[in-house]
Amino acid sequence: MKVFITGGAGFIGCNSADHFLTQGHEVVIFDNLSRVGGQANLDWLYTRHGRSHLQFIHGDIRDYDKLTDSIGGAEVVLHLASQVAVTTSVQNPREDFEINALGTFNVLEAVRHYAPETAVIYASTNKVYGGMTEINIAEQATRYTYADYPYGIDEMYPLDFHSPYGCSKGSGDQYTQDYARIYGLRTLVFRQSCIYGQRQFGVEDQGWVAHFVIAAVTNRAISIYGDGRQVRDLLHVSDLIRAYESGIAKIDELKGEAFNVGGGPQNTLSIWSEFGPLLAEMAGREIPVKWGDWRPGDQRVFIADIRRAETMLGWQPHVSPQQGIRDLYQWVASNPHLFQSS
C-alpha cells in the first residue's frame, strides 16, 4: 500500500509514517518542513527505515500543481498538514485560511482529479464545536466537569466555528464530508482532541502536554492561564494511528462520516491541578509556574464522546494519560539535544 502523508514530518505525521513503514508499506511524505522538529523527525525516519520505501517531497499544500504532480498512485492520503494554533490564526488569518481551508481544498481536488479511488483521512479538530458557553459546568476540587454530558460531546453537537482557526479547519471538515457526498470520494473526518506522544515539539499555544514536559525537563518557564482546573481528554498518538487504520479498513462503508477521536471520559486530566503533581513526581521536584488571566474562549472542559467511533470503527484507546505522559517524559529526558534550540 502507498500512503501519502501531508505534514508527514510533523508529530502525528512522522509517527504515522513510522507505523506504516514498519508494516512494510510505501510512504510518501509531503511537507514544507516549516515546523520546529520537522527535519529531526525526517532524519529519525531515515535512520529507522532508510530510503527504499520512504520518499520525501518538499512541498506545500498551498501549491496545487506540486500536489497534483506528487499524489498519483497513492492508495491512502492522510491529510495532516495544517496551521495548528488559534493564536497564530488571529495574528495572521489570511495565512491560516490559505493553509487550512485552501490547502485542504487543494488536497481534495488533487485526489478527485488524479487519485479518485484513494482513501482520504482528514485530521479535523474539536474546535469545530466552538466555545460551548451554554453548557453547564460543575466545579470540583481539582477540575471542572460537564454537568449534563457524562459521556462528553458527541458528533450531533452543533458546529460553531470560533476564531479564524476554527473557521478554516471547520471549512476543511465540511468540504471533506461533502466531497464524499457530491463526488463519491472515499473520505473520513476525524475530529481530534488533544493528541500527545513522542516526537512532539510542543509550544505554549499548541501541543501543551509536550510543552509542559519539555519545559519541566529543560527548566523553562511554564505559564498557566486561568486556574489550572481546565480539563481535556488526551489521546496517545499510537491510539490515534490505530483509529486511522480502522478508518482505512472500513472506508467504503463509512465514507463521508465524521468521528470524534479522543481519549474520552476515561482519559482526562486537568491541565495543572492534576498534571502538575504528576509532572513533579516524574521530575522529582516541584515545577514552578507563572499564572495569567483566563484567555478568551478557553473552554473549562472539553471531553469527546467517542462511543460512535468505538462502535463503528471497532476502536478504543489503550494508553492511559499516566502511562503515555511518563513515556513522553522519558523520551524528552533521553534526547536533550533535540530541545536545545526548540
Which pLDDT belongs to residue 138? 97
Give the 3-state secondary structure of residue 187.
Answer: strand
pLDDT, position 231? 97
Residue among 188, 191, 192, 216 nearest 202 (CA): 216
- Give CA torsion, residues 113, 116, 119, 123, to 10 deg: 20
Cα angle 120, 125, 126 (rounded to 5 degrees) comes to 135
Domain 2-339 classification at class level: alpha beta
Residues 6+ apart with CB under 8 A from 35: 9, 10, 201
Helices vs. strands in the chain: H and E counts, helices first = 13, 15
- Which three three-digit cell numbers place residue 90? 488571529
Partnered with residue 122 across adjacent β-strands are: 79, 189
Average pLDDT of span 78-85 = 96
Count the neighbouring beta carbons within 10 Å of the beta carbon of residue 97: 18
Mean pLDDT on 151-164: 95
pLDDT level of residue 312 (50, 70, 90 thresholds): very high
Q: Are 316 and 266 in contact (CB under 8 A)?
A: no
Q: Specify the residue for cell string 476515561.
A: 266
Q: Is the pLDDT of residue 274 over 70?
A: yes
State the Cα–Cα distance between residues 107 and 185, nearest whole angstrom.
12
Decide if pLDDT at 57 tops 90. yes
Mean pLDDT, residues 299-321 taken together = 97
pLDDT at 25: 98
pTM tops 0.95, yes or no: yes
CA angle 98, 3, 209 (to 5 degrees): 65
* Confidence label for 79 from pLDDT (cuts 50, 70 and 90): very high
Predicted confidence (pLDDT) at residue 108 exceeds the cutoff of 90: yes
Give 182-212 pLDDT, tens digit per residue: 999 999 999 999 999 999 999 888 899 999 9
Neighbours of 242 (CB within 10 A): 17
Q: What is the mean pLDDT of residues 101-128?
A: 97
Mean pLDDT value of segment 50-76: 97
Alpha-carbon Rg for the chain, nearest whole angstrom, is: 19
Instruction: Specify the DSSP element, H or E, that contains 196.
Output: strand 194-196
3-state secondary structure of 13: helix
Q: Is the pLDDT of residue 340 over 90?
A: no
- Whether pLDDT at 317 is above 60: yes
Task: Tell how strand 268-270 and strand 231-236 pair up.
Answer: antiparallel
Point out the least confidently predicted range of 65-74, 81-90, 266-275: 81-90
Counting residues of the chain whose pLDDT is more than 90, the rounded percentage is 93
Q: Is residue 151 a contact partner of residue 311, using CB atoms and an 8 Å limit? A: no
Is 190:259 a contact under the CB 8 Å cutoff?
yes
Overall average pLDDT of the 247-263 stretch: 98
Q: What pLDDT band is residue 299 in, cutting at 50, 70 and 90?
A: confident
Banded pLDDT at 87 (limits 50, 70, 90): confident
What residues does 301 pair with on adjacent strands?
Answer: 231
Domain boundaries, the chain: 2-339
Residue 75 has pLDDT above 80, yes or no: yes
Residue 66, pLDDT > 60, answer yes
Q: Is 21:45 a contact under the CB 8 Å cutoff?
A: yes
Residue 57 amino acid letter = I
Mean pLDDT (the chain) is: 96
Look at residue 8 and give its three-state secondary structure: coil
| Predicted local distance difference test score (pLDDT) of residue 341 | 64
Q: How far apart are CA 53 and CA 167, in angstroms?
A: 36
Name, in order, each residue with C-beta under 8 angstroms of 93's C-beta and a sequence gap of 6 or more.
164
Catalytic (active-site) positions? 165
User: First CA to last CA across the chain, in angstroms?
Assistant: 34
Mean pLDDT across 150-169: 96
Mean pLDDT of the 258-286 span: 97
